Every structure is written in C-alpha cells, then in structure tokens.
Structure 1
Amino acid sequence: MITFRLLLICLVSSLFPALAANSFNILLYHHVADNTPASTTISPKDFEAHLAFLKENGYQVINLDEALNNVISDQPLPDKAVAITFDDGFLSIYQNAFPLLKQYGYPFTVFVATDPIDHKFPQMMTWDMLREMKQAGAIIANHTTDHAYLVRTDDYSEQWLRMTLENIHHAQKRLTTELGDVPNWIAYPYGEYNDALRKKMAEEGWIGFGQQSGGVAKFSDFTALPRFPAASSYANLATLKTKLASVPLPVDYLGLPDTVTRTSKNSLTVNLNGKLKRQNELRCYFNSNAYSPKVQSSSFTIDIQQTFKQGRDRVNCTLPHESQPIYYWFSFQWLYWPLSVKAETTQ
C-alpha cells in the first residue's frame, strides 16, 4: 500500500510539468501612441521593439483562434507560441500598430466596445478600419457595448445579470452586423467579472478574457483566460521576456473564490493539479510586497496582511520550473467592492 501510494505521488508529480507543456501566452495592449494615458500606453517605438524581440528570439506569433483550438483539442502548439491582443479599439492601433503587424506578418485580435465606434468618437477606429483589419486576417471580438464596469454593484440580482447579458449580446449583434462572423469571445472591461457572470458565459458557450497575467493551457478557466499586460511599466523587455518564457501553473480553477470580495482583508487558497516541487521557492506578490505562502503538497495559501483598497488588486505567484530556467506563473485578480451604506442597512 505504501509503495503504491509513493508510486502514485511520483506519477502525479511527474505530470505537473507535462500539464503546462502545451501552453501559450497572450500579450495585451491598449494604446500604441506617444500622447495617450500612460497607464495603458506603449509607444510605437517600444511596440516595434516588442515585435522585433519576438522575431529575434524564436517566438511564434499565432492566431488566437488557432491557439485556443489546439489547446482545447490537445493538438501541439508551435514552440514559444504567443498571441497578440488589443482592448478598446483605439485609433492608434490602426495608425501605429497595424502597419507594424503587417510588416512582421503577425496575426492579432482586437476586442472592441461598439458604442464608441457607433458614436464615431475621434479617438476610436471606424467600422471601415475594422473591416480592413478583418480582411487582413485580424480577429475582431466583443468588449461589451459601452465598456462599463460590469460587476461594481451591490446587488447581483437576476435583473443585473439580464442587463449585463443584454449589453454583451447587443455588442455581439453590432459586430456581426458590421463585420460578419465573429467569435463568441468576451474581454471583460478592466478585466472585472464575478462567478455569476463567468458561469453564465460558460453556459452560453463564450470564451472570456481577463487582465490578470499568466499563460493558457487545457486546465485553464476558459471563461476568464489570463493575458500579460505589455504597456506602461509592463512594456519593459527586461521583465516581459521572463513572462513570455513562463508557463502556467497547473491550478484547479474550480476551487478559487469569487473575484469580487466585500471584505478588506482576504486570504487565497490555491489547489493544484499535482504535487509541488521546489515548494520552498514559491513566491507570491501583492502590491509589490512579497509573501511566502503556506504550502502543502498540492495546495498553498496566502494570507494578505494588507488592507485592500477599493478597486482591483492582484496576487501574482511564481515558481521555478523543475528542469528549465523558466517560471510557472499564476495570477488572481480581486475586486474589492464593499457594500454601500444603503445596501448594508437593507440586508
């Protein structure tokens, strides 16, 4: 019995790196310009440096649809596979990024909110520009109708869910009317969602994308796939190259808590699809502060000592790979949204 148990533990442990082997990373951009908000901007010069880095270091930039299909169907991905995405549909993507992407022959995806395009906001692309991109091979997908905060509310009622779905469905109808077939993909504005929305997206057959960092493998949560932000301070190639080389930590996503929390003090327990090796080297970071998790054989817990501020916060965790000079990577985004005084007094 003891021998069998040891053998089983060894087999599960040996599967740990194999689970993450057929995986890829997604880069996330917004503005590509020199005169737009710094927090979501990369300059055209730095964006071209990213593309050159990918080419010079053997990365295979592939169509996001192909990458997802390969992972889901257990078909092998190219070595060092990466996909490029943009959120919001800003004009600078068409003016500054699109020519460079065509020059490099790299496919890409743009998630667009449809109202700003319908209203012809000057900083946004037009439908004709999006059609041109789609004809050139780009994928255009859903970023809601109005780019509103979807889950910053006191009451996740049936009415809230219905109105949120109507928002997403209306955007999808506008996309198909203007562009023809588009995938059932949704990039949540600001990367914010909750369990109720995520589960409804799964029921309807959608693939969702967040803004937490990490890679994509078959064990990933396909209603909230991670992407590596690559603008602002995250545009630095010295750190981005480490992220690009990482593989996703094999996490049991079904065991994670809701991303929305009403309390200002939180802990996070992460269950894994296998046994940790080098567990003493697992490190997690919250607001630039390092935490050493409480580790068990196939799970770990982080007790966040800091008080959450209202809004988004992320925990990022890294673990050195068993046999390669790269890292496993995992990120979890919280939205701390306390109940309003009015809501608290009525419950």
Structure 2
Amino acid sequence: MRIETPKNRGQVSLLSKILLFVFIAMLPLLLSSPKSLTASRGMDRVNGVKILVLNYHKVDNQNISLSVLPKDFDRQMKYLKDNNFHTITMDEMYAALTEGAELPENPVVITFDDGYDDNYKYAYPILKKYGFKGTIFVITSFLDRNQPGYITWGQAQEMESSGVINIESHTVTHSSMTEQTDEQLRYEMAESKRDIEQRLGKTVGFIAYPTGTFNLHIASLVKEAGYKGAFTIKYGNVDRASNLYALERVPIFHTEDTYRSFLERLQYVPVFERLGWIKS
C-alpha cells in the first residue's frame, strides 16, 4: 500500500494538471472531423507548406504491426484521394524546400522501407488505382541475393519505369549506422547508391536511415556521399524548418483499428505542431 505524503500529493496534483491541460488542448481534435483537421495542415507563413510524409513497411495479410492489410492500405489511399491530398515526388518536395517551388494542396509523400515483395504485389497496384506515387527505400543486398520476401531488381525496374514508384536507398545491409566505422558508413551509402543507379539508370538522391538511427556526423557523411536528403522516423511534418538530412515522417502501423489509428496520426501532427510539442 502506498502512503500518500505531502511530496507525492504535490506530484499527483502536478500530473493531474498536466493531464487536464492535454485533454483541453486535444478537445478540438476530438470534436472535429478528420477532413476539417487535415484541411488545416495548410501553409506556415515562415516555414512554407506542410508536407506529410507517410512511412510504411509491409502491405500484406500478416497480423503484425509492420504489416498493413491490403484492404486497410486501400482504404487509407481512398481517404487521401477523397480528401484532396496530392502525392508528390521526392524531387518536388526538395524543390519546394530549397527553392520555394509551388506544390499542390495537401501534399503527401508515401514511402516504404526495406523493399518487401508485397510492396510490388499489393501497394504498387493500389497506388496506381488512385493515381498516386510512392517511394521505396530498398536494402540493395537483399534484392536478387537469396533473400526471400523482397522485390527483385526486375520488379524495381518495372515500378521505376512506370513513374508510380521511385526507388531510393536504405543502405546495402540495413545495419545500424551508429554502430559502424566511417569506412563502413561510406561503403553503405556509396555502394547502395551506385548499385541502384547502375541497375535502374537513374540518379539516387535520398536515403532512409536504417532503424532511424543517425547523428550529425552521419548526416554529414550522407551529404558528402552525394545525397540531397535523408529520412528519419522522427514524427512530424516536413517544411522549410526541417533539416534536409533528418526529415520527419509519420509511421503507419497495423493496430486493432488500423483505419482509426491512421486518421488519428494524420490529425495529431498539425495539433502537436501548433502546441509546440514537435517542430512547428
């Protein structure tokens, strides 16, 4: 049994005040419709347009957090389509951030990490169905090299050529970058970039940090390797205040109510930014 003292009574009181503040701050969110909140994402007069970057992994029928069911992914894409979201490419995002290039209303970048074969089987046709574009960050050593469950270079070429999917780097081996030497890091960055460029005949400009781990030194090596930007798993919108080598994303997972979770994540980002809890 816990004995309540004046000290812990004060702690409980402070916690209660914090929870009350959070509830009051979130009340407009709870009472508003998804459409009205997403429409408010809008433009920041200082930092420009807010770009929503969604982060997926698998799109298949496994009952695990990283696997969004195809029917759920389809429903999420339909929501974006019905609510006037427009997918943009990495280069369009980069031009907006660095040159102030104009973007469509409610811009969204759809990304997938690792390069699972279900991205080709399920996500790719669903994106085509809604006229959307996406980016897959691939682990290059896993393509065509005795790693079942990942896309092949042939599938990567097909998707890249279609204009629907953009293939970018997720390094060679998906090893945590904070646990590697500079020599290993340079290899992971340069070799994956070179491999994609040679096999697909394109320029690779972006990388996603494996497991999201990085630091400022690693970011400097990414820039040195010729990348224009790098993505983390930090929660938030991207705008001109973002670090190009630490770009924010909104991760999407399979939950007990995946669609509700998806809507909540879209809604929380602008609310949290207005409250100053994440970068505004």
TM-score normalized by the length of structure 2 = 0.77
Q: Distance in 2 between matches of 1:213 and 1:205?
A: 25
Q: 1:152: which partner in 2?
A: 179
Q: 1:199: which partner in 2?
A: 220
Q: 2:199 aligns with which of 178, 181, 195?
A: 178
Q: Is the partner of 2:204 in helix, strand or coil?
A: coil
**Is the aligned partner of 1:80 residue 2:106?**
yes
Q: 1:169: which partner in 2?
A: 190
Q: Distance in 2 between matches of 1:111 and 1:235?
A: 27
Alignment of 1:45-124 (within 5 A): 45-124=71-150
Q: Distance in 1 between matches of 2:65 and 2:141?
A: 23
Q: Distance in 1 between matches of 2:226 and 2:277?
A: 26
The structure in which a higher percent of residues are helix is: 2
Quote the offset at 1:194 in angstroms. Answer: 1.5
Q: Which has the higher contact order (CA 8 A, sep 6+)?
A: 2
Cα 1:319–1:188 change in 2 (3 A) is: closer
Q: 1:318 aligns with which of 264, 272, 275?
A: 272
State the aligned residue count.
235
Q: Distance in 2 between matches of 1:204 and 1:87?
A: 20
Q: Conserved in 2, the CA contact under 8 Å of 1:30 and 1:86?
A: yes
Q: Distance in 1 between matches of 2:256 and 2:218?
A: 28
Q: Distance in 2 between matches of 1:103 and 1:120?
A: 31
Query: Amino acid of the residue matched to residue 28 of structure 1?
Result: N
Between the aligned residues of both structures, percent identity stands at 29
Q: 1:22: which partner in 2?
A: 49
Query: Amino acid of the residue matched to residue 53 of structure 2?
Result: I
Q: Conserved in 1, the CA contact under 8 Å of 2:186 and 2:225?
A: no
Q: Distance in 2 between matches of 1:18 and 1:149?
A: 37
Q: Is the partner of 1:19 in helix, strand or coil?
A: coil
The structure in which a higher percent of residues are strand is: 1
Q: Conserved in 2, the CA contact under 8 Å of 1:86 and 1:109?
A: yes
Cα 1:81–1:242 change in 2 (3 A) is: farther
Q: Distance in 2 between matches of 1:166 and 1:145?
A: 8
Q: Distance in 1 between matches of 2:191 and 2:144?
A: 12
Q: Distance in 2 between matches of 1:169 and 1:234?
A: 40
Q: Distance in 1 between matches of 2:54 and 2:194?
A: 26
Q: Is the partner of 1:85 in helix, strand or coil?
A: strand
Q: Conserved in 2, the CA contact under 8 Å of 1:90 and 1:125?
A: yes
Q: Conserved in 2, the CA contact under 8 Å of 1:42 and 1:235?
A: no
Q: Is the partner of 1:58 in helix, strand or coil?
A: coil
Tell me how large the CA RMSD over aligned residues is. Answer: 2.3
Q: Is the partner of 1:27 in helix, strand or coil?
A: strand
Q: Is the partner of 1:215 in helix, strand or coil?
A: coil
Q: 1:216 aligns with which of 230, 238, 249?
A: 238
Quote the offset at 1:64 in angstroms. Answer: 2.5
TM-score normalized by the length of structure 1 = 0.63
Q: Is the partner of 1:318 in helix, strand or coil?
A: helix
Q: Distance in 1 between matches of 2:103 and 2:235?
A: 20
1:5-30: CA deviation from partner (whole Å, max 9, x where unpaired): xxxxxxxxxxx941244120100111
Q: Distance in 2 between matches of 1:238 and 1:218?
A: 29
